[in-house]
A and B are shown apart, each in its own frame.
Chain A
Amino acid sequence: MARRTDALGVTGADTIIGPGVVVTGNLYSEGDIFIDGEVTGDIKTVGDVTLGVNAVIKANIAALNVVVGGTLTGNILAQGEASITESGQVHGDVGSAGLSIANGGQFEGRSRVISAPQLGLPEDHED
């Protein structure tokens, strides 16, 4: 898909879940995912996952890099970096190549630093 900036100011995300939108079930993507709404279910992608400040997520996330700016209840498995921004809250475990928590960000769980080969990619999703 063409990379572009959207109404939310998101550049390049293939899947966008905007504020006020409630998703129940599993989100799979072959690209980046940006969520600013509510999701209950699992999230898997070979790209990045970004949770906006309005995001309320109850899900396990498997992705390349994960940025949490909203509230996540669930585990993160990131092949690359996991980041919790100043507005982010994570209630769950994080497995990643590196974890950063900004001043004000909240993390309640265990963190494991895992080398990339151990992580593997999320299973392919058949469309």
Chain B
Amino acid sequence: MYYYVVNSAAGRGQITHLEEKIRSRLDELGIRGEWAHTTGPGEATKMAAEAVAKGHTTIVAVGGDDTVNEVMNGIRDEKVAIGIIPTGSNNRLARQFGIESWQQACKVLAARRLSSFSLIAAGQQYFLSTLTLGFETDLDKRIDIAATGWRARIAQLRRGWGTARSFESLHAVIKADDDFSLECDLFSLSIANQKFINPLADNKLLVSISDRPGGRQLGSYLWQLIKHGTSPLEEEATTRFLAVRVVIETKPVSGIMVDGKVASRTPIAIRLTDRRVKFITEKLAMGLRT
């Protein structure tokens, strides 16, 4: 039985216009379920936990990344599958699962391909996909990636450019597992579960460190970020390695962004946990249809 947790405020309230269409499509696909609407931050976590307690085995987050994270944090039962219908302003997680629109999301839910991911713990907080620090965290405070219209986007691009020019690299010391420590000046650092990049790979932390990019790379990065909300800076990494646990210290202290939201600051320990969550995805990994 499907349980839909709807963030009514996600995507500037666009769900109010879409809900009937989504319900109608889900009816056609035979996956009509129970619907619940959040009224404030943190409520999706409680709703998801209650739905699991009632016996629901599929919880669908209807909203953006924040909603998905809240739902995920309410589910402790590894047998429960999480689905996503992206209606938020920031739908990066859905895109990472190959889901670009609510229409596609409905089909994906019906197809029910499952992939299991280990959660990553950053301090006391669990997250699924990507942690960043450095320039990207700084940039998030200064530009609005949800800006629409070319004038607004150009303005954001200019602001992002200025931020990059004035950003001073961080000096970082990173201890990886019990094997080595690494010292460097970094422009940006990201940590992701490598399984997000390659669904066939093992769950492992992929640590990517970027130097200050050249003008062309920076322009391309900023434009992609503003246009698509994606963050390809990690593809420009000049250093990368795999680990299970890392401890990061920086000078000066840096804010840390988890799945697109500022969550903590350095120093911080980040580790891959045994806690797994099962997602319904477009990209078929090692999951089975159940």
Contact present for A21 and B181 (CB under 8 Å): no
- Please pick, from A2, A21, A41, the residue contacting B184 in the complex, using a CB distance under 8 A: A21
Asked if A15 and B240 sit within 8 Å, CB to CB, the answer is yes
A residues near B217, Cβ cutoff 8 Å: 7
Total interface residues in chain B, CB < 8 Å: 28
A24: Cβ under 8 A from any B Cβ: yes
The answer, yes or no, to whether B150 is at the interface (CB within 8 Å) is no
Q: Is B183 a contact partner of A21 (Cβ separation < 8 A)?
A: yes
Using A1-B194, A15-B242 as known contacts, say yes or no to A21 and B179 having CB atoms under 8 A apart.
Answer: no
Size bin of chain A's contact surface: 20 to 34
A7 touches B179 (CB 8 A): no
B177 A23 Cβ-Cβ under 8 A: no
B195 CB to nearest A CB, Å: 10
* Interface 1/0 per residue, B180-214 and A, CB below 8 Å: 11111100000000100110010010100111000
Interface residues of A in 19-59 (CB under 8 A from B): 19-29, 37, 41
Q: Is the C-beta of A114 less than 8 angstroms from some C-beta in chain B?
A: no
* Docked pose: A29 CA to B204 CA in angstroms: 12
- Can you list, as one digit per residue, whether each of A1-19 has a CB less than 8 Å from chain B (1) or not (0)? 1101011100000111111
Segment 154-200 of B: residues with Cβ below 8 Å from A: 176-177, 179-185, 194, 197-198
Q: B237 contacts A25, CB within 8 Å?
A: no
